[in-house]
Structure 1
Amino acid sequence: MALARPIRLIIGVCIALILLLIYQNSSSPSLPLSPIRKHKFDNGLKREPLKEFTGEPEGPLWRAEKDAYSPNNPNSARIKATLISLVRNEELEDLIPTMRELERTWNKKFNYPWTFFNDKPFSEEFKKRTQAETKAKCNYELVPKEHWDVPSWIDMDKYRTKSKAMEDNGIQYSTMLSYHQMCRWNSGMFYKHPALADMQYYWRVEPKVRFFCDVDYDVFRYMQDKNKTYGFTINIYDNPQTIPSLWPETVKFLEKHPDYLHENNAMDWLTDSKQRPDHTKKANGYSTCHFWSNFEIGDLSFWRSKEYEDYFNHLDKAGGFFYERWGDAPVHSIGLGLFADKSKIHWLVYPLGV
């Protein structure tokens, strides 16, 4: 009898664990818990049913047909799209594993071109080793000096004072000028590069990002067929200390251009204070929730729109890319949340991973 109670307890725990596993496997997948939270706009920023990724394709040529995506096919099924990466020569060892994984899991089937950007000329070693990872064409582009340099209206003494104060508060990269330049370029310059002039879609690839799952459909054609503006995988909070004036400047812009606000916008998501009220308060009204831009697939026509271009130019003149540490992720997210139809923002929960 002394042993009966422990045995019953063990059996009970095992049964509970089995039931929990059955429940989890039968439930719809969701994003991990805090600091990444399930998106509140399930009726807008929604995931497509799993059948669209595992059953028969609904759109033309979603899945690779024989020779349709051959690198040298003059009548290729590829649409105007490219993989892009802002990367330096010294990041080559971090980029190669990422590139190798994405080729293995997806691009070896579709052979979309790679477009690499750098503010310095690429080395021959960089070109040789990256081209060896893919059958697709690789393009090596120099960022125009006028797109990378600090704008003339930025007070560099003020920048140094502000960035040092941020560093003293533990804000990472705050005194690294190239980091500020990178955030500004990714926010409002990359889509202006001549190498992307004929492109409609891009897939941003960052060194050290991981791709675990096989993807057997043309993601770009899916975006086109479904009329999606932007695809993301992770929705996370930003550090409010890096962007205290971003939302106040956004409000100023909206006061001047109330007609730019899309009727099906995601304003509630941008200003949601229930999940992290401390963040919303410190960021002066912005929830700091944003799409993690280490992975993004987007329609370049959105960034080229008058609404977003005017918004970026307003922010650029305000100087927050240098006086604070505005990242391209919150800037992209606010732009999308205000000026895009939220039903065209797509959660790529299946089967991509970072």
Structure 2
Amino acid sequence: MVLLQSHGVVRLIFALLLLSSFLLIIYNFRSISSRLPDLDDVVSGGHTKFRRPKTGGSLKGIDPLLEPEKGPSGKLYGPGEVNRTSATILSLVRNDELEGMLQSMRDLEATWNHKFNYPWTFINDEPFSKEFIERTSKEAKYTSYEVIPKEDWEVPSWINEDLIQESSDLLTENKVQYATMRSYHQMCRWNSGKFYHHPALKDIRWYWRVEPKVHFFCDIDYDVFRYMEDNDKLYGFVINIYDSPDSIETLWPQTLEFLAEHPEYLHPNNAMDWLSDSKNRPEHNHKANGYSTCHFWSNFEIGDMNFWRSKPYEDYFEHLDRAGGFFYERWGDAPVHSIGLGLFADKDKIHWFRDIGYQHIPYFNCPSSPKCKQRCQAGRFTDGTGLDEEDCRANWFEMAHMD
């Protein structure tokens, strides 16, 4: 009986949070919307106009990756150039993920980093084992090993432990993955708003996030960090998908509450249409209370840490952190990063690395290029049954732009 009453209290709390957020949405949406560009301008925007599929979002058979890949335009720094920039390859990884990490390292070193020798920075919430250090250090020219400060990893003092337990039961009922795995929630919070303040990264601007058990298929002959810097980009992605709306029910209402307090942070060339789309997969928008759930899949990201360190994003993360959704729900760093970028950044500074062949189970980014040496099938999006509809690139290409 006590447990049933407890569940009722949790549901009532969530209902009140949603009600208050909706009232803020109604009150503020007109003023926020008035700052947005017309959709027609967004679609054209000086870029190649994208015609989305007639039905759904699947690009199967019409994927732009089926077109011959020529690589990015503009100045490209090859292996012979001496002008490197402040950058690192970054991996949050545990000791027991060693074999998967070695696989990822070997792929990226073979296709790219053996030509440029950027350092690898490995970060863990506990000290790395001697075996991990010895074996990974043999795979690259420069490696370093860091531990997360306890205060950045532990659950914040303002989070209610009883509510965490009760909330995780509700998430489990809704079949939300990793609902009860505390370390996963901690990881999402750290990746969302803590990693770029780690002491080992304080003087570094650019990072390429690499996780264990991923594959890189295609040779990359230019310095991707210099490409981003020289072409005024701040974030690069390869895969753009929908999230589970049951894991982020209050993320968008909390976001609109923050925007109501700080309308000045909204960038004039934002990607609000992509974030709030309700025409495609409307059930996702409904369950996520106004958020399309489209996001850049953050297991691959090449980014400018100075954006995360900017006041708009820092204030946004602080607002979310205080709201508690990293623990009471399962807010991931991918939607948090994506919303932050979609609201506070110039969307033209977000780059799709269509030329980088990549796999993180169950999704791919496979270009049509001789540099891939037939290691992956051009235009292949997934090896999972029924997952083509999870592809959200059509929305991004239509509502933002396609490089």
TM-score range, shorter chain: 0.7 to 0.9
Counterpart of 2:158? 153
Higher normalized contact order (CA 8 Å, seq sep 6+, divided by chain length)? 2
| TM, length-normalised to structure 1 | 0.82
Determine whether 1:121 maps to 2:137: no
Counterpart of 1:335? 340
Determine whether 1:352 maps to 2:376: no
Determine whether 1:64 maps to 2:70: no
Preserved contact between residue 298 and residue 333 of structure 2 (Cα < 8 Å): yes
Q: Percent identity?
A: 64
3-state SS of paired residue (1:278): helix
3-state SS of paired residue (2:155): coil
Determine whether 1:91 maps to 2:97: yes
1:139/1:326 CA distance change after superposition, 3 Å? same
Determine whether 1:81 maps to 2:87: yes
Mark the structure with the bigger radius of gyration.
1
3-state SS of paired residue (1:117): strand
1:131/1:159 CA distance change after superposition, 3 Å? same
Determine whether 1:321 maps to 2:354: no
Preserved contact between residue 215 and residue 352 of structure 1 (Cα < 8 Å): no
Determine whether 1:244 maps to 2:249: yes
1:230/1:37 CA distance change after superposition, 3 Å? farther
Write out per-residue CA displacement over residues 243-262 of structure 1, whole angstroms, 9 at most, x where no aligned residue. Answer: 00000000000000000000
Deviation (angstroms), 1:59: 2.3
1:190/1:138 CA distance change after superposition, 3 Å? same
3-state SS of paired residue (1:111): coil
- The structure 1 residue matched to 2:168, chosen from 163, 169, 177, is 163
Determine whether 1:107 maps to 2:110: no
1:145/1:256 CA distance change after superposition, 3 Å? same
Amino acid corresponding to residue 75 of structure 2 in structure 1: G
Preserved contact between residue 36 and residue 236 of structure 1 (Cα < 8 Å): no
Tell me how far apart the structure 1 counterparts of residues 109 and 160 of structure 2 sit (CA, whole Å). Answer: 43
Alignment gaps of 5+ in structure 1 = 1-27, 43-48, 69-75
Alignment gaps of 5+ in structure 2 = 1-49, 360-403
Deviation (angstroms), 1:50: 4.6
Amino acid corresponding to residue 85 of structure 1 in structure 2: S
Preserved contact between residue 258 and residue 319 of structure 2 (Cα < 8 Å): yes
3-state SS of paired residue (1:329): helix
Counterpart of 2:299? 294
| TM, length-normalised to structure 2 | 0.72
Write out per-residue CA displacement over residues 117-138 of structure 1, whole angstroms, 9 at most, x where no aligned residue. Answer: 0000000100011011112x10
1:316/1:212 CA distance change after superposition, 3 Å? same
3-state SS of paired residue (1:203): strand
Amino acid corresponding to residue 116 of structure 1 in structure 2: F
Deviation (angstroms), 1:35: 6.7
Tell me how far apart the structure 1 counterparts of residues 273 and 156 of structure 2 sit (CA, whole Å). Answer: 33
Deviation (angstroms), 1:34: 6.6
Counterpart of 2:7? none
